[in-house]
Chains A and B, each alone.
Chain A
Amino acid sequence: AQTVTQSQPEMSVQEAETVTLSCTYDTSESNYYLFWYKQPPSRQMILVIRQEAYKQQNATENRFSVNFQKAAKSFSLKISDSQLGDTAMYFCAFFNAGGTSYGKLTFGQGTILTVHP
């Protein structure tokens, strides 16, 4: 079974600054995907960024980028130029592409990010 751990229950950052959210995971699988989801106060789950484990290049989506360290099983999210609208709970999630899981996502505990003006 896979586990996903987010060790930072809460983080805060000033508007326009950069913040990094941590995520580690444990798996024996080699073919998997990692995701960061954002959950604002409305509680809607929104996909922020994805990373395929077979790709060495770190994924980037505008102000969001990841630092994927496969050997260390680490998958951190960097948010640059933080905006007030980035205030949300952020979840790291794992998908085992090599098994028989039909789309099952395993989530971490979440990190509450607050962006201050």
Chain B
Amino acid sequence: EPEVTQTPSHQVTQMGQEVILRCVPISNHLYFYWYRQILGQKVEFLVSFYNNEISEKSEIFDDQFSVERPDGSNFTLKIRSTKLEDSAMYFCASSEIGGPPSHEQYFGPGTRLTVT
């Protein structure tokens, strides 16, 4: 069964450093998403991406964040200057089109980002 993959599984970085989190969505999917989950809290939407542009973004997704689909397979989330409060699990998801029912979002295993 096709699946969303994410690398790395765990990233440790120092405050102020740039990080890039990578995702490989399912190959025939067209919509891509990033969510984050601070430890012990709920999953929060960050951004959705379609046709090489951002479709929607949340208040969390400020100028420090950017997304890119550099080639036909990868989908990346960049944080330019990490802060301690960016420490969280980041989930990538993809779907065939932008909504259910048959177009459910498939989630990757997540990247745990630790900012020290």
Chain A residues within 8 Å of B, Cβ to Cβ? 33, 35, 37, 42-47, 50, 52, 91, 93, 95, 97, 100-110
Contacts and interface: CB of A to CB of B under 8 A. Distances in A.
A37 B37 CA distance: 14
- State the main secondary structure of chain B at its contact with A: strand
B91 A45 contact: yes
A52 B99 CA distance: 12
A42 B99 contact: no
Given A47-B104, A103-B31, A103-B98, A42 B109 contact: yes
B75 interface: no
Interface residues of B, number: 27
A34 to B, nearest CB: 10
A110 B71 CA distance: 35
A108 B105 contact: no
A102 B50 contact: yes
Interface in B43-85: 43-45, 48, 50, 55-56, 58
B42 A50 contact: no
B95 interface: yes
Nearest to A106: B45
B42 A33 contact: no
A107 B104 contact: no
A27 B48 CA distance: 21
B110 interface: yes
Contacts of A37: 107
Given A43-B89, A44-B110, A95-B100, A103 B42 contact: no
A96 to B, nearest CB: 9
A47 B106 CA distance: 8
* Most A CB within 10 A of own CB, among B42, B56, B91: B42
Contacts of B89: 43
B56 A43 contact: no
